[in-house]
Amino acid sequence: MKPLSATEALAAIDTGTLTSERLVRDCLDRITERDPVVKAWVHLNPDLALAQARAADATKGGLLRGIPVGVKDIIDTYDMPTGHNSPIFEGTQPFGDAACVALCRTANAVILGKTVTTEFANRHPGPTTNPHNPAHTPGGSSSGSAAAVADGHVPLAFGTQTGGSVIRPAAYCGVIGYKPTFGDFSRVGIKMQCHSVDTLGLMARTLDDIALFRAAMLKLPPVAIDRGGSAPRIGFLRTPIWDEAEPDTKALLEDVAKKLGAKDVSFTPAFKDILDDHAAITGWESLRNYADERLRNPDKVSAELMAGMKRSEAITLDRYVAAQRKTVAFKAFIDALFDSVDVLLCPSAPGEAPKGVEYTGDPRFNSIWTLAGTPCVTLPVGTGDMGLPLGIQLVGLRHADDRLLSTAAWIAARSI
């Protein structure tokens, strides 16, 4: 049976045909059945989850009344360990909840458990597999959240994105991923990698669920998806790394662009190397943000993260400053693109999820937009040559997230 979306579950709860306890038991059953293969969860406490569900059933009310949520394990929870997929933090339990978790609880959600992350949301992978084929990666760094939502373990889950850690795993697993405008969602209690770009994102199986979840994060009434709008002006942006996309992804994008009457849009030459600026900023910042781990526990940091930080020592302050200044200009350039289009269409990833779980895939089709601070949505649209999901990435004007979600619904109705 197709698992319920959060929006469907809420309707059933409100009419009395479903309880949160029943919903959570169904999720736990599904996890018991499937997680030996998918390995999406690093911490689950069924008793605690069911106690929250019964409390939600008793109190009713709240935007997410009784809906279970998966929490990426770099996000603090006061009642569960937060391990960051690092031996440094193994078994440690934070003093408080991250703000995003507290906002879920404020909305009467059930915090179901913690989902697998790569080490510190960086590269070193966890054990999670792609629910569509366990020989493939689910993507990273929000590996467990994407896999859990795709596999019907939970309707909603948190991811975070520094490069492509929300949009890419969502695309690889065939779910909807959403990265809001930079700054809209609180990052309190989320392990920081790079303060200029790190963004909390959301995963779900429907756009209505994304809109609902977003409202809980903003502590505001939900803005319903507008499905009655007129045709958006769509810009097809291949990006400067188009040649790195797989043939099936290129063909999908060209096909969708043609079908939707998108017009070609491109970066000016000044920004063709903007990914180098993303790399300079993230390299500079992460090197300093991990000062405590480097000083007190270097032996417990993965070799690949240590090597990456070693390379980052070559980034000068002048290079960092130049990248920051260029980013200001880049954001202005992107803002101006939206004078003539309502949404940009581009790949969510170079292709399908790569084989193996050691390499979580290339984030660079996403890093462009993490740097730009724009809202992004990935929609699952068909499958690739290996039969795994492909996605299209939709990019909106900064601070116009509600509009992007409605535009995405318009496009989804015509592409999927």
Question: φ, ψ for residue 181 (rounded to 5)?
Answer: -50, 135
Rank residues 163 and 354 by Cβ distance to a second copy and give the closer one: 163
Residue located via tokens 């669920």: 209
* 259 catalytically annotated: no
**Total chain residues near a second copy (CB under 8 A):** 45
Residue located via tokens 């999908």: 252
* 367 catalytically annotated: no
> Could you say whether residue 326 binds a second copy (CB under 8 A)?
no
Contact 198, 187 (CB under 8 A): yes
> Could you say whether residue 310 binds a second copy (CB under 8 A)?
no
> Could you say whether residue 336 binds a second copy (CB under 8 A)?
no
Short-list 397, 374, 370, CA closest to 285: 370
Catalytic residue of the set 72, 114, 191, 326 = 72
Q: From the list 314, 317, 336, 413, which residue makes contact with a second copy (rule: CB under 8 A)?
A: 317
> Could you say whether residue 60 binds a second copy (CB under 8 A)?
no
> Could you say whether residue 189 binds a second copy (CB under 8 A)?
yes
Max distance between CA atoms of the chain, in angstroms, equals: 62
Instruction: Give me the half-sphere count of Cα atoms (radius 13 Å) on the Cβ side of residue 108.
Output: 17
> Could you say whether residue 311 binds a second copy (CB under 8 A)?
no
Contact 201, 180 (CB under 8 A): yes
| Region binding a second copy by CB under 8 A among candidate stretches 99-107, 124-132, 364-372, 403-411 | 99-107
Rank residues 328 and 413 by Cβ distance to a second copy and give the closer one: 328
What DSSP string runs through 308-350? HHHHHTT--HHHHHHHHHHHHHHHHHHHHHTTT-SEEEEESSS
What are the CA-CA distances from residue 358 to residues 41, 45, 105, 135, 206 (Å)?
17, 28, 34, 11, 29
Rank residues 96 and 261 by Cβ distance to a second copy and give the closer one: 96
Containing 292, the helix (H) or strand (E) segment is helix 291-296
Containing 283, the helix (H) or strand (E) segment is helix 274-289
Q: From the list 52, 86, 141, 196, which residue makes contact with a second copy (rule: CB under 8 A)?
A: 196
Q: Provide the 10 A C-beta neighbour count for residue 179.
A: 31
Catalytic residue of the set 165, 196, 312, 367 = 165
Q: From the list 33, 60, 90, 219, which residue makes contact with a second copy (rule: CB under 8 A)?
A: 219
> Could you say whether residue 293 binds a second copy (CB under 8 A)?
yes
Q: Report the interface residues with a second copy, using CB under 8 A.
A: 78, 89, 92, 94-103, 105-106, 183, 186-189, 192, 195-196, 217-220, 285, 287-296, 317, 321, 324-325, 328, 331, 399
Residues tagged active-site: 72, 141, 165
